[in-house]
Amino acid sequence: MSDLGSGDEGSSSQKYRQGMDQGSTEYDPGQQGPAEQELATKMLQIQSKRFYLDVKQNRRGRFIKVAEIGADGRRSQIFLALSTAAEFRDHLSSFSDYYCSLGPPNPDNVPEDGKLRSEMMIKDNRRYYLDLKENARGRFLRVSQTITRGGPRSQVAIPAQGMIEFRDALTDLLDEFGAGDEQSFKQDLPEGRHLHVDNKNFYFDIGQNNRGVYMRISEVKTNFRNAITVPEKSWTRFRDILADYCEKMKQPQQQTSLPGIGQQHLGSGGGSGGGVIPGTTTVSDQSHTPIGNNIHQQDSGSSLK
């Protein structure tokens, strides 16, 4: 297998961005935009780099976009079908084991091309070259993606120390969204909904994975995003709990309005009911009777003595 690139793990990011600007979107060369839905995302900080693993879905199925952002802000990315991502995860385990078996770097014993170990994956018209390499900055796994019919080559480079962390994050996404046939869907799902409250935006998106249908509720503010996933089987219970809280929040408002109504009745009668505790209007209307009864009770108590 010939060497891909110059050994600088970020060397192809500019060429890839140019390809993206020209309309090459790789996993699905068709149109992106409203038809593409983001299902989940994970962010990893490995040394000076940030990696984003995004599970997306479009008319052809689900896939994972892996984006690398370097310390200088350069961005490069590759696309993996879910089945390819599962194969890549397994390769990460074997590459990590091999890396752990290596001794410390020896500048006097570095392969001419810098490669320590290589593997290749094939998916339809795409090929992925996995090269564990070593240069003056250390050891890293370079993942290069090519298209047999031509087009820009894209690649990301994962520091060798972060391969296990990367594998674990990929495993979490595959466990949730499945690594089987990424084009199998049970039914047409409802369109997403949007709610704007004050300075917040809430997005309700319906998705589907190997565990069933679910609702993803995202809260989005400036520079902030949070989300929860609610399985379809619990939607009814989720709704009932919200409805119950809505009813309970109405009750204090109704009780707060009652004292004002009672005071208006007392005031209209000309009595001095301003200091009466709310809810005791009936006792206040018969205020003279209890006083008399108290006197009789006291007299009767005295006579008993």
Give pLDDT tens digits for 268-283: 444 444 444 444 444 4
Q: Is residue 23 part of a domain?
A: no
Nearest to 269 by CA among 286, 254, 257, 256: 286
Cβ(145)–Cβ(128) under 8 Å? yes
**What pTM did the predictor assign?**
0.51
Spatial neighbors of 137 by CB under 8 A, at least 6 apart, are none
More confident residue, 191 or 252: 191
**pLDDT, position 257:** 57
Domain end point (choices 136, 155, 178): 178
Whether residues 104 and 225 share a domain: the answer is no
Whether residues 135 and 227 share a domain: the answer is no
Domain end point (choices 248, 275, 295): 248
Supply 48's token pair: 């000076």
Q: What domain count does the chain have?
A: 2
Alpha carbon 233 to chain centroid distance? Answer: 20
Return the SS3 of 171.
Answer: helix
Give pLDDT tens digits for 119-134: 999 987 889 999 999 9
Whether residues 109 and 225 share a domain: the answer is no
Question: Is 50 exceeded by the pLDDT of residue 253?
Answer: yes
Average pLDDT over residues 5-17: 39
How many residues does this entry show for the chain? 305
Whether residues 166 and 219 share a domain: the answer is no
**pLDDT, position 84:** 92
**Banded model confidence at residue 300, pLDDT cuts 50, 70, 90:** very low
Kind of pairing between the strands at 75-81 and 193-197: unpaired
Sign of CA dihedral 233, 234, 240, 242: negative
Domain residue limits at 46: 36-178
Kind of pairing between the strands at 126-135 and 115-123: antiparallel
**Banded model confidence at residue 170, pLDDT cuts 50, 70, 90:** very high
Whether residues 150 and 199 share a domain: the answer is no
**pLDDT, position 156:** 96
**Banded model confidence at residue 188, pLDDT cuts 50, 70, 90:** low
**Banded model confidence at residue 189, pLDDT cuts 50, 70, 90:** confident
Question: Is 60 exceeded by the pLDDT of residue 19?
Answer: no
Question: Is 80 exceeded by the pLDDT of residue 90?
Answer: yes
Residues facing residue 54 across a β-bridge: 41, 65
CA 126/CA 116 separation, integer angstroms: 23
Q: What is the CATH number for 124?
A: 3.30.2450.30
Cβ(58)–Cβ(38) under 8 Å? no
**pLDDT, position 266:** 42
Whether residues 168 and 57 share a domain: the answer is yes
**pLDDT, position 22:** 33
Whether residues 68 and 126 share a domain: the answer is yes
Give pLDDT tens digits for 194-243: 999 888 899 998 887 767 788 989 998 877 788 899 999 899 999 999 99
Whether residues 49 and 131 share a domain: the answer is yes
Cβ(147)–Cβ(65) under 8 Å? no
More confident residue, 241 or 18: 241
Q: Is residue 174 part of a domain?
A: yes
